[in-house]
Chains A and B, each alone.
Chain A
């Protein structure tokens, strides 16, 4: 029995694509929570907006027989990059709306409002079939540069695309956070009153941080949608869409982009490994319940990290700005 190198490589590629997409979400959250101290409990909402926006922008309106089965209000048939851009912008707009409402109030209001947004969007896409085909969702999203390589190698190409986005976002955040702008964010996180006393408009900086983080999440959503080539409302659950990402950032290192990426890969590895275990090891009678062990694990992980090691595996780097 030979070892199937090709099979292992292609498994690793699809693992790395998902882990890298989650690392992007985790970096988006890092801008909001790690650098600014904003609690977004509705990452699933921005994930959802990003995925659906890109889906509606890049697919054509259904025609012929397909039109009998698929309802879709918008179908712009634009290229992949336009879809990603639209995803980032729409996601940012929603974040701005929520931010305008809540960022002047105590921090908890943002947390509950983002939960509300995420749940409402999920309900909306589920119950309004005219918009994006209801619970069945949209399929057949275009894959960028498809046909450039033989189909069996396509995942490697997509991995390269995702990693390029990851690198760009990483560089952008690192530059931003080392700039005077980033310094204000971190100052605000440490002491809001002092920052305000130094003449910085705390509300405006918080709003910018929330929007930038949400735009990154929107991009992550679009990348996910084009990878799976399908979007359904049932994907954007509080666990799969939000709390797994909190676990990633908290474990990896709040306030550190390398930690955010590390956490993305580590937690996604544990998650996929547990899926494999449940499918192959757990007795059949317990199969439907076993996945929920992960709820307990992620929940406890969050509590223990916050209590014992609030900075995660890699703590925040000491940063000295260039003048």
Chain B
């Protein structure tokens, strides 16, 4: 059980990254982004493409420290982040911004994001097929912790990267002027506009940051398990469940929600089939909506 909890924290760290992205978009762009899961998938596959190119060229093939993957994948984080963030910004420019200018009803944004989700997933299916892919075919080294807990070295890497990013986002939003402007837009867009903050520019920043988080989350999840075109779609329920549990708009909430969701999903495998993980997330979401729809950090 302790071991499952530890695995839950690892999965939860990845969910927290995505949930922060979802929560930022929900709060600042004021929409539920149903393409978010597929942006994670896109990030993971872009990293796969780049690291495959490196290995074809025989570049950067040395293993990174005690981990299972090579330097090629480490470098591949950068194009994955840039391209996924760029795609998010482009979708905003081509699709969401025109909708906002037209004054479309909020739910239309969700509709359109679903269309984008399918287009992205279709593209990934066509380019890479439905089969599983791995970043590294080599064995994954293990470390043994006290109390009989086995951990893969990769999982330590995942934790460190995820938590560092969460800390970075938190500092950005609380200490940097740009981050404060973002929060101002989230709290009251009209007031922020009067203070001279361009809401459209803030939304572009939000999309970029959330897209970058999606890419990192996707690659980390790919390192933890394997890559397949449905990976992001299956992640969508835990992501939204975490963001809603943590009160939409709250970074702290998304972090706690992500960890709760990760632990709940992993611990549930003690009794349930692992394939039920998305269902576990859904049940928790139902319970939250039933008893505390504003989430743990929300005010009525």
Indicate, yes or no, whether A interacts with B: yes
Q: Is the CB of B123 within 8 A of A108?
A: no
Query: Would you give the 0/1 interface string for B277-299, flagging 1 where the beta carbon is closer than 8 Å to chain A?
Result: 01101110110011001000000
Q: Compute how far the CA of A101 lies from the CA of B286 in the bound complex, rounded to whole angstroms.
A: 7
Check if A303 sits within 8 Å of B116, measured CB to CB: yes
- CB atoms of B122 and A105 under 8 A apart: no
In contact, B118 and A302 (Cβ under 8 angstroms): yes
B282 touches A117 (CB 8 A): yes
Across the interface, name the chain A residue whose C-beta is closest to B282: A116
Chain A contact-residue range equals 35 or more
Q: Annotate A101-139 by CB proximity to B: 1 below 8 A, 0 otherwise.
A: 110111111011101110110011011000000000000
Q: A111-B107, A113-B285 are in contact. Are A303 and B115 (CB under 8 A)?
A: yes
Contact assessment for B126 and A41 in the assembled complex, using a CB-CB cutoff below 8 Å: no
Query: Interface stretch among A152-160, A180-188, A259-267, A285-293?
Result: A285-293
Contacts of A220 in B (CB 8 A): none
A57 interface residue (CB < 8 Å to B): no
- Which chain A residues in 18-42 approach chain B with CB under 8 Å? 37, 39, 41
Let me know if A299 is at the binding interface, CB within 8 A: yes
| Complex interface: chain A residues within 8 A of B126 (CB) | 289-290, 292-293, 296
A residues less than 8 Å from B244 (CB atoms): 109, 112
CB of A300 within 8 A of chain B? yes
Q: Assess whether A106 is in contact with B106, with CB atoms less than 8 Å apart.
A: yes
Q: Is A200 an interface residue (CB 8 A)?
A: no
Bound-complex Cα distance A109 to B286 (A) = 10
A117 to B278, CA, bound (A): 10
Contact check, B279 vs A123: say whether CB atoms are below 8 A apart. yes
Q: Which residue of B lies closest to A117 (CB)?
A: B282
B119, B130, B286: the one contacting A299 at CB < 8 Å is B119
Contact assessment for B122 and A101 in the assembled complex, using a CB-CB cutoff below 8 Å: no
Q: Which residue of A lies closest to B272 (CB)?
A: A127
6 A-B interface contacts by CB (under 8 A): A107-B110, A116-B286, A123-B278, A243-B118, A295-B122, A303-B112
B31 touches A (CB below 8 Å): yes
* Chain B residues in the interface with A (C-beta under 8 A): 26, 31-32, 34, 95, 98-99, 104-108, 110-112, 114-123, 125-126, 129-130, 233, 236-237, 240, 244, 273, 275-276, 278-279, 281-283, 285-286, 289-290, 293
B116: A residues at CB distance < 8 A: 299, 303
Q: How far is the CA of A303 from the CA of B114 in the complex (A)?
A: 8
Q: Tell me, in angstroms, the Cα distance from A273 to B122 when the chains sit together.
A: 18
Shortest Cβ-Cβ A-B pairs, 10 listed: A295-B122, A299-B119, A302-B115, A299-B118, A116-B282, A292-B125, A296-B122, A108-B32, A303-B115, A120-B279
* CA A294 to CA B118, docked complex, whole Å: 9
For the complex with contacts A105-B293, A297-B122, 13 further pairs of A-B residues with Cβ separation under 8 Å are A39-B110, A39-B111, A108-B107, A111-B32, A112-B34, A115-B236, A116-B286, A119-B279, A298-B115, A299-B119, A303-B115, A306-B111, A307-B99
How many A-B residue contacts, CB cutoff 8 Å?
A: 136
**Contact: A112 with B240, CB < 8 Å?**
yes
CA distance A108 to B99 in the complex (A): 17
Q: Pick from B26, B104, B112, B116 the residue with the most CB of A within 10 Å.
A: B112
- Tell me, rounded to whole Å, the shortest Cβ–Cβ distance linking B41 to chain A: 12
* A292 / chain B contacts, CB cutoff of 8 Å: 121-122, 125-126
Bound Cα distance A142, B35 (Å): 40
Partner of B118, one of A116, A124, A295: A295
Structural contact, B236 and A298, CB atoms closer than 8 A: no
Measured CA separation A306–B279 after assembly (Å): 31
| A197 shortest CB reach to chain B, Å | 19
Q: Is B121's CB under 8 angstroms from A295's CB?
A: yes
Contact B99 A306 (CB under 8 A): yes
The answer to whether B32 and A112 have CB atoms under 8 Å apart is yes
Complex: how many Å from CA A127 to CA B280? 14
Q: Is residue A229 within 8 Å, beta carbon to beta carbon, of the partner chain? A: no
Q: With A and B bound together, what is the CA distance between A299 and B118 in angstroms? A: 5
One digit per residue, 1 when the CB lies within 8 angstroms of any chain B CB and 0 when it does not, for chain A 227-240 equals 00000000000110
Instruction: Give B38's nearest chain A residue, CB to CB.
Output: A299
Question: Smallest distance from the beta carbon of B58 to chain A beta carbons, Å?
Answer: 28
